[in-house]
Chains A and B, each alone.
Chain A
């Protein structure tokens, strides 16, 4: 029905012919010094007729009286001139004030920066491509105040992105902002090639994002892919780089000697005997005969340098009626983990805009991405951490082992085999990702220059083909995989959006107004099917199909799907009086099938005052431009998991009398959810100062998420269900300053800094004092007045150095011995609970949200040289060193060198870490700030040096305009945390892929 409607509409649209008087025009376009500007685009407004100025700025054009000419040129303010009876029009273009006249995309339309009343930051293509990465969002790290990008080291893995803190209870894949790529909604943009992106706009506050209503609570990132321009000469460009990645800040683990010392001091006869076994099996070190003659640095063994490369070829151009942009791209990145771990992506895209008539423009855009990804086996990172250094990688004495003779820690007495190599070598996780996004639009100019209607249909189709293969091996009785298993999973996502937008623009006297009304229909469907096969011909990869498997267990088959619909209506008013007073408002009504509450309404209003337009500011020497702005808005969040709203019954199987039978299990606990609503107030200013050399954007915001859906643990069960039980507040200040100056024709530079603060706070839990999260052993608690999911436990005062110290401490338990941790008793003498360490002594130990993030950049252009550097950092966040906590479950593994060296080895040796024996005691394993460490870091994010080759001739032929680029990405990171990567998205460090430094050499050529 809907498709039919569209067709109907197209048919009924009528051709218009206007008869007006023709005039022949000529003239010259110059800059403010009178120098002719070549290449200036001159367009008859509302048509596709136009021309371009010649080498001296001259032009000739035939047009009709009463039409308006638009003169535009990059870096200059566009000018519109009404054609009267003149035959010659000379135009002087003014250099534009950087940024203010920039047209940026906002939801369902565009605006100039000048007209904004909300907080939007746009990053352009040339900034993005500085970072050699397959993940466009990674390139934004440190560039946008208030945007937190937590890198992922694995090839093809998307970073975690948070806009202004976290407004929704995490752990449901619900923190990510909404990505809108050319109008289509995405959860991530891992499939896009960075160089294909024209601009990324981060809509940070509610007022900017509210036009996306229910999907916008975590912020919105608008992405426009590159398009061609009308009347532009065809341009062919090649961009490419090749480089290598090197693991950084590799965590130093205890070496054989340190490990042996810890084992000997553990007081565990078993652990001591394992070291003796190692000496018997592998000999004694000649340097220290009490240490086995093996010293394996497992991280060193499993890491490797890895290559990265990217090649893009783009064609853009346009004529009077059509503009086009076509491109292809190949990206490949190997993982630094020594296994089949790589990412390879091939993209094609085409974007065409066609002015069919004066009143109709049609266009289409297709991006196809075909990626092949071999995921790392995450467990290997963990195994390498715990694998004891007194065991070699290979052990020829392990004669029964196959396919290779890897060592087995069980041969020394350890509980697990520990060696990470079987995990690395006998697993393969292949993922084929094919994504297509296609959209087509038709835009009708109903009233020239005033009223237009645009209808856009977008479809995103993703097919994921996942194959996980586990190959058999035998390293020992308890370190073997007798069966080869194969899991195939096919998933399909088909999302459609159909937008219809009516836009009205008008100017009269000093009033300028834009009205927009629209409607959108959304359909998101998913289907996934997976099955397992056991024992198939392992040596022939072409036989890795379930059909070839000996056994296909029924328990390995799963089939699932989901489908959600959304219908929305939205409108926007943007009003500008004399460029001095700005008013802005939007409203969106969203209907969603996801919750029991179907409809949500999301309004916003904003206002701006351009102070510099006032008379009293006319003579000021500081501000060239100053705008004060304020906005308020409401947003919804439908990224949280759909609620069932009713009791569900699932199938559950078991064996009765050796026969598999099915039964049912009915859950009585289920969630009934309402919309999560975020309400945000933003005040800020935008300024240009000191002759437009300094630009500043300063914002302060408060965002409250109401009805926050939080997992509430159900007592005495393993279940948690979502309930709308909280109000979470994020507030902060964001400052962005940029200074740019041109010292001479040859030398110019710019310096930028940005920083943001964040305060995350639980404001209300609807009557409850707290809600527990995290795990039972590593408690995270959301308490009213404290950050969401704050680490919660005991404060360590130090380590008991001797018996006297224990005797005088009333809070010391009977079992305390020197070398145990001393916790803080939160009660004073005389208070209830004094003299004993109990539950009431637990306090908030910190939050995983940084409260301060900063970035900075500097750029210098000298003649043909370009240099740029950027930094990024954060502070105030805590990381749970969960690896150290693993000792609760398994105490015989290795530990990091810092712990081994700095733990308590006797009176006066350490006041920080317990003794080796103490590490194994429950008393010292309580959740405490021993496990919770400072996650601050500072990083040199990117250094780039480029040389432009222009006007060079070689053997008589002109070499095309080229640029050679050397890049060092993330070459240095400084931090105190005892892990090898302080970027831990959820603050719990179990196994994090290290972030490599990347060194590349690149080349750009423009034909």
Chain B
């Protein structure tokens, strides 16, 4: 029995040892494969640019539905894609459905990237506080502000009164108030004023650190856009005047190629979403989902090149407007014709004979075949099959997406002046004629506001809904009531997505 007692003692002892040696500190091990922000070495100021690049990355990685929803309303473009995405087509007809998935998705996408922009500003500030270069910090924060400004501008233009984010923490929305659209626009304008002093004074394509990133002029353009929305025409004229006087931008002479590979980081662009296939036929590729815009059927010059879904169709009204003006390259660049579409135009006796160049084959040699979902496809979002990097087949691969270009700046300038603003930078005539000359249109003199608006229609069709928001601003609802649609002022803004109303009851009381 003594031995047994010994065993008992020994085993208890052993247990005690085991218990004592059990490594309780293992419980405090941090999670694997996570980089904790608090462990970031903010004294390594070389890394200060990383949060900013992150903000650009998120800004460029746009959801495919963002642009279509923002830009589909207006008499320049129809939903296309007939028989598909019914509520997208209904949106084009000003019948809104707050349950429709796109509304919520676009709302979230825009806000998401604004939070990332805020986060980048906060991170850069931390680097600055730990010895980062002060001037660089100022510039990076200013750049993130501009990206945020553009997103906020698009959001408020579409939805009107919204919540302005003030930090990277979305939970602040639970207690946030709604800001009316006019104040959002003023806020954007103020934000751009804050950013401008710190931004590089150059064309984005002249930047060496982040080529194609925002510059002082991008901020000025967004300031002009925001002020245009609230009819602060003098501020528009001042901002655009500064861009014009800066002399860093020129109009690309080849209007057709401006929207192709040649348009990448073109001297005409003030802001664009950058995409690239790295020049390789397979592997890493950053791209917008251009297939949305592509015609549904085509015979590409380069066999095997993919086409698209057939959405986003230039309107018959726009085409006839352009034909009336005897436009050539702008119409050719903006619209891809199908035989069915051409026949449809000709049904109107007035257009029974069309210029010879109107054809279902583009000048690049791609033949657009008839498809049931639409009569026409958008040309500004088309990349010819022979400009695809060999090996790539997805529609539009390697094409950048233009956000703001110099032609719009010139036309905003002219618009402001014809609304009574003054400027020493350039006259309204000169601004409009610069745009017209490039596309072979005769110069005008003594341009009226109506002529400027027509010029914007012709020049900026299919781009970011500019036409729709112009007509809404000017109260010209009759232009928007076309092809069986009726636009009334109460249709100006999209309804808040139901999901967001459920999350933020404050939105429920507004609309």
Q: Which A residues contact B (CB, under 8 angstroms)?
A: 1-2, 5, 8-9, 12-14, 16, 266, 268-271, 273-274, 359, 410, 413, 415, 444, 446-447, 451, 453, 474, 477-478, 480, 482-483, 500, 502, 519, 521, 523, 534-535, 550-555, 559-563, 565-567, 569, 591-593, 598-599, 642, 644, 646-650, 652-669, 713-719, 772, 776-777, 779, 815, 839, 888-892, 920-923, 925-927
Asked if A413 contacts B371 (CB within 8 A), the reply is yes
- Contact among B23, B31, B47, B499 with A567 in the assembled complex (CB-CB below 8 Å): B23
CA distance A183 to B170 in the complex (A): 45
- Contact among B15, B86, B87, B100 with A500 in the assembled complex (CB-CB below 8 Å): B15
B230 to chain A, nearest CB (A): 23
A366 to chain B, nearest CB (A): 25
- Contact among B4, B61, B119, B122 with A16 in the assembled complex (CB-CB below 8 Å): B4
Asked if A891 contacts B54 (CB within 8 A), the reply is no
A666 to chain B, nearest CB (A): 5
Which residues on B sit within 8 Å (CB–CB) of A776? 99, 101, 104-105, 497-499
Which B residues, 1 to 36, have Cβ-Cβ distances below 8 Å to chain A? 3-4, 6-8, 10-11, 14-15, 17-19, 21-24, 26-29, 31-36
- Interface with A: B179-187, B219-227, B298-306, B432-440, which one? B298-306
CA distance A820 to B67 in the complex (A): 31
Asked if B99 contacts A650 (CB within 8 A), the reply is no
Which residues on B sit within 8 Å (CB–CB) of A927? 99
Count of A-B contacts with CB under 8 A? 315
With A477-B304, A482-B391 given, is the CB distance from A668 to B168 under 8 Å? Answer: yes
Measured CB to CB, the nearest residue on chain A to B373 is A270
Asked if A660 contacts B278 (CB within 8 A), the reply is yes
Asked if B99 contacts A593 (CB within 8 A), the reply is no
CA distance A586 to B296 in the complex (A): 68
Query: What are 29 A-B contacts with C-beta separation under 8 Å?
Result: A9-B10, A477-B298, A478-B291, A482-B393, A553-B283, A561-B33, A565-B29, A566-B27, A567-B24, A649-B40, A659-B276, A663-B53, A664-B50, A664-B51, A666-B37, A666-B120, A666-B123, A668-B170, A713-B503, A715-B170, A715-B173, A716-B107, A716-B504, A717-B112, A772-B502, A776-B104, A776-B105, A777-B101, A922-B97
Asked if A716 contacts B53 (CB within 8 A), the reply is no
With A642-B31, A715-B500 given, is the CB distance from A662 to B372 under 8 Å? Answer: no
Asked if A446 contacts B123 (CB within 8 A), the reply is no
Asked if A5 contacts B14 (CB within 8 A), the reply is yes
Measured CB to CB, the nearest residue on chain B to A550 is B282
CA distance A97 to B57 in the complex (A): 72
Which residues on B sit within 8 Å (CB–CB) of A553? 283-284
B403-416 Cβ-contact flags toward A at 8 Å (1 or 0): 00000000000000
CA distance A274 to B165 in the complex (A): 47
- Interface with A: B77-85, B237-245, B457-465, B480-488, which one? B77-85
- Contact among A266, A650, A656, A839 with B212 in the assembled complex (CB-CB below 8 Å): A656
CA distance A562 to B120 in the complex (A): 28
With A563-B29, A772-B499, A922-B100 given, is the CB distance from A714 to B10 under 8 Å? Answer: no
- Additional pairs, 16, CB under 8 Å, beyond known A8-B14, A415-B310, A666-B51: A477-B298, A521-B22, A553-B284, A563-B32, A591-B27, A660-B278, A664-B47, A665-B58, A665-B116, A668-B119, A715-B504, A716-B111, A716-B112, A716-B173, A717-B108, A719-B112
B308 within 8 A of A: yes
Asked if B282 contacts A668 (CB within 8 A), the reply is no
Asked if B108 contacts A567 (CB within 8 A), the reply is no
CA distance A665 to B99 in the complex (A): 30
With A270-B82, A273-B372, A648-B35 given, is the CB distance from A655 to B276 under 8 Å? Answer: yes
B163 within 8 A of A: yes
Which residues on B sit within 8 Å (CB–CB) of A839? 498, 501-502, 508
Asked if B7 contacts A444 (CB within 8 A), the reply is yes
Q: Which B residues contact A (CB, under 8 angstroms)?
A: 3-4, 6-8, 10-11, 14-15, 17-19, 21-24, 26-29, 31-38, 40, 47, 49-58, 60-61, 81-87, 90, 95, 97, 99-101, 104-105, 107-109, 111-112, 115-116, 119-120, 122-123, 163, 165, 167-171, 173-174, 210-213, 264-265, 274-276, 278-280, 282-284, 286, 291, 296-298, 300, 304-310, 371-373, 391-393, 497-504, 508
Asked if A815 contacts B279 (CB within 8 A), the reply is no
Which residues on A sit within 8 Å (CB–CB) of B169? 668-669
Which residues on A sit within 8 Å (CB–CB) of B35? 648-650
B446 to chain A, nearest CB (A): 43
**Residue of A410, A415, A719 ringed by the most chain B CB atoms within 10 A:** A415
Which residues on A sit within 8 Å (CB–CB) of B8? 446-447, 451
Asked if A480 contacts B53 (CB within 8 A), the reply is no
With A482-B391, A655-B278, A716-B107 given, is the CB distance from A565 to B283 under 8 Å? Answer: no
**Residue of B86, B307, B391 ringed by the most chain A CB atoms within 10 A:** B86
- Contact among B56, B81, B87, B211 with A663 in the assembled complex (CB-CB below 8 Å): B56
CA distance A644 to B37 in the complex (A): 11
B506 to chain A, nearest CB (A): 10
Which residues on A sit within 8 Å (CB–CB) of B10? 9, 12-13
B475 to chain A, nearest CB (A): 24
Asked if A663 contacts B27 (CB within 8 A), the reply is no
B192 to chain A, nearest CB (A): 22
CA distance A296 to B6 in the complex (A): 82
- Contact among B26, B56, B173, B283 with A551 in the assembled complex (CB-CB below 8 Å): B283
Which residues on A sit within 8 Å (CB–CB) of B108? 716-718
Asked if A926 contacts B500 (CB within 8 A), the reply is no
Asked if B101 contacts A889 (CB within 8 A), the reply is yes
CA distance A661 to B296 in the complex (A): 34
Asked if B109 contacts A502 (CB within 8 A), the reply is no
CA distance A322 to B82 in the complex (A): 77
Which residues on B sit within 8 Å (CB–CB) of A655? 60, 274-276, 278, 286
CA distance A713 to B174 in the complex (A): 12
Measured CB to CB, the nearest residue on chain B to A669 is B170
B466 to chain A, nearest CB (A): 25
B41 to chain A, nearest CB (A): 11
CA distance A717 to B500 in the complex (A): 9
Top 7 A-B pairs ranked by shortest CB distance? A663-B53, A663-B54, A654-B57, A655-B276, A270-B83, A716-B111, A268-B83
**Residue of A478, A523, A563, A921 ringed by the most chain B CB atoms within 10 A:** A478
Measured CB to CB, the nearest residue on chain B to A517 is B15
Asked if B213 contacts A656 (CB within 8 A), the reply is yes
CA distance A655 to B83 in the complex (A): 36
Which residues on B sit within 8 Å (CB–CB) of A523? 26
- Contact among A551, A569, A598 with B28 in the assembled complex (CB-CB below 8 Å): A598
Asked if A477 contacts B37 (CB within 8 A), the reply is no
With A647-B38, A922-B87 given, is the CB distance from A567 to B305 under 8 Å? Answer: no
Asked if A16 contacts B112 (CB within 8 A), the reply is no
Asked if B210 contacts A656 (CB within 8 A), the reply is yes
CA distance A717 to B84 in the complex (A): 27
Asked if A891 contacts B104 (CB within 8 A), the reply is no
Asked if B14 contacts A663 (CB within 8 A), the reply is no
Measured CB to CB, the nearest residue on chain A to B52 is A663
A456 to chain B, nearest CB (A): 13
B305 to chain A, nearest CB (A): 7
A446 to chain B, nearest CB (A): 5
Asked if B34 contacts A644 (CB within 8 A), the reply is yes
Which residues on B sit within 8 Å (CB–CB) of A657? 211-212, 265, 274
Which residues on B sit within 8 Å (CB–CB) of A274? 372
Which residues on B sit within 8 Å (CB–CB) of A650? 35
With A444-B11, A561-B32, A644-B34 given, is the CB distance from A500 to B18 under 8 Å? Answer: yes
CA distance A745 to B47 in the complex (A): 86
**Residue of A13, A453, A654, A719 ringed by the most chain B CB atoms within 10 A:** A654
B511 to chain A, nearest CB (A): 12
Asked if B170 contacts A716 (CB within 8 A), the reply is yes
B68 to chain A, nearest CB (A): 14
CA distance A265 to B51 in the complex (A): 54
- Contact among B123, B278, B305, B393 with A664 in the assembled complex (CB-CB below 8 Å): B123
CA distance A669 to B265 in the complex (A): 35
